[in-house]
Amino acid sequence: MDITMSDIEAIRARHSVRNYKPEAIAPETLALLKAKIEELNAAGDLHLQLIENAGSTYNRLLNRAMGLSSAPSVIACIGKDSENLDQRVGYYGEQLVLYAQKLGLNTCWAGTFNRKNIGGEYGEEERLVISIAIGYGEDQGNPHRSKSADQVSEAAGDRPEWFEKGVELALLAPTAVNQQKFLIRLNADSSVDFIDNTKLLGQVDLGIVRYHFEVGSGVSCKP
């Protein structure tokens, strides 16, 4: 556990993990994680929920093949339905994922899971967007193959250092099946657009990419 680790360090250290040890999350770590969830729910108007016993959330054949059936706990990413819910889940959920990394935990964003068995509480007009498997990994995962900065970004004119640093960390963002089908565009007025080029959880991906870019560039990208 190293909660003094910076988000940049956590981004570089964190990789998706699909195989987990059976042990439950330690009580002191659990308390810190729950406090962070409360903080992020308030900031993002979300209803993220830690379900300590993942049960049969990951009992689908694909999950078992990937090893996710071993995940001891799960975070249900729930929020009141709105146009930008998926992006907010990605933006704030990734902050939780990075915090979990600092706590010595491992995670995996998982769009394939048994929605009926995940559990969780739903308020009026709330929707389950995606899940995050969480626990102590059998390993620390592996870096994903990455596109080049030119493949995922474009600029109207020069590319300032802050933009380059933002794109660099955006390329480390987890995306659905590692497709990295996003575009970050720097406009002439120095504003930045984030464009989704896939329908497969693309808006969640954009939220995650937004936060990574924000960490690298120092420019707020809250959806």
Whether 115 and 192 map to the same domain: the answer is: no
Whether 69 and 179 map to the same domain: the answer is: no
Q: What is the pLDDT of residue 64?
A: 64
Whether 72 and 179 map to the same domain: the answer is: no
pTM of the model: 0.94
Q: Does residue 223 form part of some domain?
A: no
Whether 173 and 113 map to the same domain: the answer is: no
Q: What is the pLDDT of residue 222?
A: 96
Whether 92 and 163 map to the same domain: the answer is: no
**Residues spanned by the domain of 155:** 149-217
List the pLDDT tens digit at each of the 223 positions of the chain. 777 899 999 999 999 999 999 999 999 999 999 999 999 999 999 999 999 987 777 776 656 656 677 888 999 999 999 999 999 999 999 999 999 999 999 999 998 877 887 888 888 999 999 999 999 999 999 988 899 999 999 998 899 999 999 999 999 999 988 889 999 999 999 999 999 887 777 899 999 999 999 999 999 999 9
| Contacting residues for 84 by C-beta, under 8 A, at least 6 apart | 203, 223
Domain at 48, CATH number: 3.40.109.10
Nearest to 217 by CA among 174, 185, 170: 170
Whether 177 and 110 map to the same domain: the answer is: no
Whether 62 and 169 map to the same domain: the answer is: no
Domain at 178, CATH number: 3.40.109.30
